[in-house]
């Protein structure tokens, strides 16, 4: 581990030297890559630098303890020694986590797709609530949300909704939301007071950037333009601005109608299609690497039931990590950090355990 850390430290110094060259900004791509690499390495370099300082403090404290005769000073040195040893252990664990292979998609923007499943109108109502939960969570993370498409029902529910979240590290946190979400509650339309169970599915897909080669052959696509349906402002429902793309090889159909401009809706539809195709490729890789999929939390089977929201008891249970919390109201208002952090910690622990076995 320390040989690798020394190599990374040397690489960090090389990057800093390159960034100080007067001509570095002449090549935008090179400058952007250097800044990204420097940003990725900074936490590890800072931890390793502090680690080496603590190790030196331990050596210095041991030498001074041998030479010191004053009891009060000895106690102070022992305290410093113990603090440094404790910090060294913490930093070793921190550096192991920082050295884990990073998901190349973690820093990307995402496209989220929510679909109502079993439960009819109740499932559609829950889909709309989960959409609002994610919008509130995105706001708390200072991310930006942008609607792509929404198929609403008259009572305020959503049969399906696709939207983009733009912001640093969006995929690294939201990827754990993919899967089946189950709600247990008494619907407003239920006169007998019986608890119903409904489900929705969530898919979180990384945005496909220009550096990824996702090619779409024109002959494989049918583009239909039509008048937007559902709620909309002036012009949205009165012009042929909505765009539907049909991808023949996969059978994927995507729809965008939230913009007034047909060109803007077309761009959004293509972005969604590219993300779906890329996501399909990621799923194939996960299926081909069963051991890897089992070692990771929430990035495997999309049909997996990951979470239950029980309204009568006010609890939320994440089944993957065995976490149950009794603050349903706050969760539905976007406070899902405890669940997300728990998934990240479990994922890191599983990867560390697998790395130690090798």
Percent of the chain with pLDDT over 70: 87
Give the pLDDT confidence score for residue 102 in this predicted structure.
Answer: 81
Position 337 pLDDT exceeds 90: yes
pLDDT over 60 (residue 315): yes
Alpha-carbon distance values, 39 to 16, 27, 45, 61, 270 (Å): 11, 18, 10, 34, 31
| pLDDT of 284 higher than 80 | no
What is the pLDDT of the chain when averaged over all its residues? 84
* Position with higher pLDDT, 15 vs 229: 15
Higher local confidence (pLDDT), 227 or 119? 119
Mean pLDDT of 290-298: 48
Residues 232-250 have a mean pLDDT of: 67
Q: Is 323 left (phi over 0), alpha (psi -120 to 50) or beta?
A: beta
User: Over the stretch 119-157, which tens digit does the pLDDT of each residue have?
Assistant: 888 999 999 999 999 999 999 999 999 988 888 887 888
pLDDT band at 236 (very low <50, low <70, confident <90, very high): very low
Which H or E element spans position 328?
A: helix 328-332
Q: What is the Cα–Cα distance from 288 to 300, expressed in whole angstroms?
A: 11
pLDDT at 237 over 60: no
What does pTM read for this prediction? 0.72
To 10 degrees, what angle do helices 71-98 and 337-357 make?
A: 90
φ, ψ of residue 244 to 5 degrees: the values are: -120, 130
The predicted structure's pLDDT at residue 46: 93
Strands of the sheet containing 252-256, edge to edge, are: 221-226, 242-247, 252-256
Task: Pick from 9-23, 109-123, 129-143 the range whose average pLDDT is largest.
Answer: 129-143
pLDDT of residue 297: 54
Instruction: Count the neighbouring beta carbons within 10 Å of the beta carbon of residue 172.
Output: 17
Q: Is the pLDDT of residue 358 over 60?
A: no
**292 pLDDT above the threshold of 60:** no
User: pLDDT at position 234, please?
Assistant: 37
Which carries the bigger pLDDT value, residue 250 or residue 135? Answer: 135
- Alpha-carbon span 209 to 271, nearest angstrom: 9
CA-based nearest residue to 169, from 212, 112, 105: 105
Domains of the chain, CATH where assigned? 2-98 (1.20.58), 110-349 (3.30.70.1660)
What percent of the chain is modeled with pLDDT above 90?
38
Tell me the pLDDT band of 300, cut-offs 50, 70 and 90: very low
pLDDT exceeds cutoff 90 at 27 = no
Binned at pLDDT 50, 70 and 90, residue 256 comes out as confident
At residue 343, the pLDDT reads: 93
pLDDT of residue 225: 83
Is the pLDDT reported for residue 335 higher than 70? yes
* pLDDT tens, residue by residue, 36-95: 889 889 999 999 999 999 999 999 889 898 887 888 888 888 998 999 999 999 998 888
The predicted structure's pLDDT at residue 151: 86
- Lowest-confidence region among 102-116, 151-165, 220-234, 309-323: 220-234
pLDDT reported for residue 210: 59
Cβ proximity of 119 and 199 under 8 Å: yes
Mean pLDDT of 218-241: 65
pLDDT of residue 82: 92
pLDDT given at position 126: 94
């Amino acid at each position: 581990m320390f040989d690798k850390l020394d190599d990374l430290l040397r690489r960090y110094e090389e990057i800093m030297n390159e960034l100080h060259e007067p001509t570095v900004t002449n090549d935008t791509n090179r400058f952007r890559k250097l800044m990204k690499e420097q940003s990725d390495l900074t936490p590890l370099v800072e931890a390793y630098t502090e680690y080496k300082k603590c190790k030196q403090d331990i050596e210095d404290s041991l030498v001074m303890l041998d030479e010191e005769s004053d009891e009060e000073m000895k106690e102070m040195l022992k305290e410093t020694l113990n603090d440094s040893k404790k910090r060294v252990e913490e930093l070793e664990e921190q550096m192991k986590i920082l050295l884990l292979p990073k998901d190349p998609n973690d820093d990307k923007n995402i496209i989220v797709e929510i679909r109502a499943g079993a439960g009819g109108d109740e499932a559609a109502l829950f889909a709309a609530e989960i959409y609002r939960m994610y919008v509130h969570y995105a706001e708390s993370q200072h991310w930006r949300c942008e609607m792509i498409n929404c198929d609403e029902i008259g009572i305020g529910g959503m049969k399906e909704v696709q939207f983009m979240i733009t912001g640093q590290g969006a995929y690294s946190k939201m990827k754990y939301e993919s899967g089946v979400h189950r709600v247990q509650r008494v619907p407003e339309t239920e006169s007998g007071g019986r608890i119903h169970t409904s489900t929705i599915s969530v898919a979180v897909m990384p945005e496909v950037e220009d550096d990824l080669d996702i090619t779409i052959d024109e002959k494989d696509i049918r583009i239909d333009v039509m008048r937007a349906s559902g709620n909309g402002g002036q012009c949205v429902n009165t012009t042929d601005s909505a765009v539907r793309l049909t991808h023949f090889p996969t059978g994927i159909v995507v729809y965008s109608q939230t913009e007034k401009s047909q060109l803007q809706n077309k761009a959004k539809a293509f972005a969604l299609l590219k993300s779906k195709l890329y996501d399909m490729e990621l799923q194939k890789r996960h299926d081909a690497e069963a051991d890897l999929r089992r070692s990771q939390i929430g990035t495997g089977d999309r049909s997996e039931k990951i979470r239950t929201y029980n309204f009568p008891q006010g609890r939320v249970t994440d089944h993957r990590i065995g976490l149950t919390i009794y603050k349903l109201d706050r969760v539905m208002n976007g406070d899902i950090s405890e669940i997300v952090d728990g998934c990240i910690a479990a994922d890191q622990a599983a990867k560390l355990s697998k790395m130690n076995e090798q």
